[in-house]
Amino acid sequence: MRFVDEYRDATKAQMLATRIAALCEPGRAYKFMEVCGGHTHTIYKHGLEDYLPETVTLVHGPGCPVCVIPMGRVDDAIHIAEQPDVIMTSFGDMMRVPGGKGSFLDAKARGADIRMVYSPLDALKIARQNPDRRVVFMAIGFETTAPSTAMTVLRAEAEGIGNFSIFCNHVTIIPAIKAILDSPDLRLDGFVGPGHVSTVIGCRPYEFIARDYGKPLVVAGFEPLDVLHTVYRILLQLREGRSEVENQYARVVPWEGNLKALRAIGQVMELRPYFEWRGLGFISQSALRVAERYAAFDAERIFQIPGGRVADPKACQCGEVLKGVLKPWECKVFGTACTPETPIGTCMVSSEGACAAYYNFGRFSRERVKEATRR
């Protein structure tokens, strides 16, 4: 299959592993963060960590939008769903995310009408079919999914569908990366840049990372050779004393981003003054809300929501995992009390969560397989 098979060639992976090892300076340890949860799953599904020298460590960042949503926002969404004549719609990976009062599935079991959809346009269709009900779409995701939400609001306005609204929880990636760079908990040498987000925002917004912090960032694709090639390019920059933004995923990501998508976001949404992230706390201008012009489609304005903060369970260490401070297997409840069937934290729920990746692909310890790097 074109654009798949050629990026999964084991011989080329071994060649890249050899080149990566040759770029590593003796006695130096390297730590790179893969910002996107999709990269985490690629790394552990295909065993890519075993192709890297022991001195190269990959840690995961806050690039899973379901994982970073705080428990209080889940409770707010459940509060809306339990109002009379409301149909709450949501992507599937939100259904089991725990809040202080349970998950969407728990609320559904108590009688709330909560339905899984594949697109905000599916939610709009439900609103069209149920004019006597108030249909709310649980809008989550980074800039990757924000354009589809914005376009759905514009469609609802154009069609005069007044019983549709969104509960906006879209977050933005740049402030989160900056918060990690400013954190004293973690010292990084470079970034495996997010691929999906970059299809919308492009590569230019990352330039401050290289310019102000001296860290190389390479936007990466999601196939095994994409990730290995990205690690190679980061190490090459470090060896040559460079700190730049590069685009390894040029077959998909335009340098300037998707201008039409950005215009749609800018028309329908605006930055919030601040927003709470699980594990990172409150970050200024790090999330989107519905602009005043489209207030009629804003569930936060239509419904009175509690807006309270809810502390994570004491046993859960999702916050440290999201910041890259801990590996999932270092969490005390990983793989025991916390599993995909009985999740305590969001990182075990989402299809992009780091804990789910480690659990599903058998990473329960520090051990690596040596064979890949010996060849």
Residues 142-167 have pLDDT tens digits of: 999 999 999 999 999 999 999 999 99
- Alpha-carbon distance of 272 to 286, in angstroms, equals 7
Q: Across all residues in the chain, what is the average pLDDT?
A: 92
CB atoms within 10 A of CB 101: 15
- Give the residue-averaged pLDDT of 42-46: 93
- Alpha-carbon distance of 128 to 89, in angstroms, equals 14
pLDDT at residue 369 tops 80? no
Give, to the nearest 10 degrees, the angle between helix 259-268 and helix 146-159: 60
Sheet of 30-36: strand order equals 56-63, 30-36, 190-193, 217-219, 245-247
E-assigned strand segments in 78-179: 86-90, 113-116, 134-141, 164-170
Most confident of 201-215, 272-286, 308-322, 339-353: 201-215
pLDDT at residue 210 tops 90? yes
pLDDT at residue 140 tops 60? yes
In the prediction, which pLDDT does 375 show? Answer: 43
- Between 289 and 371, the more confident residue is 289
- Alpha-carbon distance of 375 to 355, in angstroms, equals 30
The answer to pTM > 0.85 is yes
- Give the residue-averaged pLDDT of 192-207: 97
In the prediction, which pLDDT does 367 show? Answer: 58
- Alpha-carbon distance of 166 to 73, in angstroms, equals 13
pLDDT at residue 267 tops 80? yes
**How confident is the model over 293-305, as pLDDT tens digits?**
999 999 999 998 9
Which amino acid is residue 121, in one-letter code?
Answer: L
pLDDT at residue 177 tops 80? yes
**Range with the lowest mean pLDDT among 112-121, 122-131, 333-342?**
333-342
Give the whole-number percent of the chain exceeding pLDDT 90: 71
Confidence of residue 63 (pLDDT cuts 50, 70, 90): confident
- Alpha-carbon distance of 239 to 287, in angstroms, equals 36
Nearest one of 304, 196, 195, 307 to 247, comparing CA atoms: 195
In the prediction, which pLDDT does 370 show? Answer: 54
pLDDT at residue 368 tops 60? no
- Between 326 and 284, the more confident residue is 284
Q: Are 139 and 168 a contacting pair, CB within 8 Å?
A: yes
Backbone angles phi, psi at 200, to 5 degrees: -100, -50
**How confident is the model over 85-118, as pLDDT tens digits?**
999 999 998 998 889 889 999 999 999 999 999 9
SS3 57: strand
Confidence of residue 374 (pLDDT cuts 50, 70, 90): very low
